[in-house]
Amino acid sequence: MLEEQYQKIDGIDQQLAALFEQRMAVVDEIAQIKFDNQIGLTNIQREKAVMDQRLAAVEEPKFEPYIVDLYQTMILIAKQYQVKKMKALKEQAEA
């Protein structure tokens, strides 16, 4: 029981993890650009656009609240990473 479903989820998660890594690599690039140009961490307008576009792409309305949760978390993770990276860049510049 459930073996078939577990196989499906394992395959999907493999793709999700690879895509998440790609997204984080871009988030890393953005952190460098923010640091170099003294731009603030949060871009509220962009966050809203990301959320609106992702919600518009959802085909199943019943999943919409979960997409909201997913992207709130995804953006939070991106910003947590960027804070850490920009702090390290600042310390490096001051050393």
Ligand X SMILES: O=C(O)C(=O)C[C@]1(C(=O)O)C=C[C@@H](O)C=C1
Q: Which is nearer to ligand X, 20 or 63 (CB)?
A: 20
User: Which residues, at least 6 apart from 58, have a Cβ–Cβ distance to it below 8 Å?
Assistant: 64, 67
Residue list 10-49, contact with ligand X (CB under 6 A): 27, 30, 42-43, 46-47
- Which of 24, 55, 68, 75 contacts ligand X by CB under 6 A? 75
- Give 30 or 68: the residue with its C-beta nearer to ligand X: 30
- List interacting residues with ligand X (CB under 6 A): 27, 30, 42-43, 46-47, 50, 75, 78-79, 82
